[in-house]
């Protein structure tokens, strides 16, 4: 059940998405030849100031793992056990892996290493599935029931947008390639907004 520890860790659900977004915007200003519309967030790591994005991945991943634990503490147990929160934590681990296996500049071209794909797939797929599964646990807790539907829809939207970006935008020659960055940012906005909403609820709870 929720308590001081859960409410404290809930700050990670507020700070993580906000800091991640701010640092992405900052890097866009530092690297004017980078396109927020055409290029995925991960490509920022390929530029000279790319260490900022690598650090950004590590911090955001750790924050999301902490917030997943906070949600596990703050929502009453159900038949799904810790599966939903475990998947959300796995999404945070995927972000950390994305930082470890970051994009590199190869012959002047930002390039995604194959190992980075593993982190990206884990981050988005585990998050989408985690939100869907965790929404069912929320339904069984009267304090969270009103947000269960929103969480379910968010999880489904993350999965749909992930498939859209992965199959129709990231690779050169795909129909939405020129909009890969914008589509990924929409995905992150949907994801991060949900985290903030859940974090605000958890922070407000007293029992």
pLDDT tens-digit readout, 12-31: 999 999 999 999 999 999 99
Q: What is the mean pLDDT of residues 169-187?
A: 96
Q: What is the mean pLDDT of residues 40-58?
A: 97
The token duo for 30 is 């530092």
pLDDT at 207 exceeding the cut of 70:
no
Q: Return all residues near 117 (Cβ < 8 A) that are at least 6 apart.
A: none
Strands (E), 36-165: 104-106, 109-111
CA distance 92 to 124: 9
What pLDDT, on a 0 to 100 scale, did the predictor assign at position 111? 95
CB 71 within 8 A of CB 86: no
Instruction: Give the closest residue to 70 by CA, choosing from 14, 9, 17.
Output: 9
Residue-range domain boundaries for the chain? 4-204
Segment 61-105, tens digit of pLDDT: 999 999 999 999 999 998 777 999 999 999 999 999 999 999 999
What pLDDT, on a 0 to 100 scale, did the predictor assign at position 81? 78
Mean pLDDT of the chain: 95
> 165 pLDDT band (50/70/90 cuts)?
very high
pLDDT at 157 exceeding the cut of 70:
yes
């Amino acid at each position: 059940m929720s308590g001081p520890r859960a409410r404290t860790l809930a700050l990670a659900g507020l700070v993580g998405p906000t800091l991640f977004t701010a640092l992405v915007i900052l890097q866009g200003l530092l690297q004017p030849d980078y396109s927020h519309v055409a290029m995925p967030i991960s490509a920022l790591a390929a530029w000279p100031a790319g260490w900022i994005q690598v650090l950004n991945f590590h911090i955001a991943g750790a924050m999301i793992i902490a917030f997943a634990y906070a949600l596990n503490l703050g929502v009453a147990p159900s038949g799904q056990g810790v599966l939903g929160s475990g998947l959300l934590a796995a999404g945070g681990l995927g972000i950390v892996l994305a930082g470890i296996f970051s994009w590199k500049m190869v012959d002047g071209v930002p390039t995604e290493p194959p190992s980075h794909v593993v982190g990206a797939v884990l981050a988005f797929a585990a998050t989408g599935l985690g939100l869907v599964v965790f929404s069912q646990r929320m339904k069984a807790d009267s304090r969270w029931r009103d947000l269960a539907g929103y969480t379910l829809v968010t999880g489904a939207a993350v999965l749909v947008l992930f498939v859209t970006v992965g199959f129709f935008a990231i690779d050169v020659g795909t129909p939405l390639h020129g909009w890969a960055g914008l589509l990924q940012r929409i995905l992150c906005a949907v994801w991060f907004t949900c985290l903030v909403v859940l974090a605000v609820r958890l922070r407000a709870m007293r029992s």
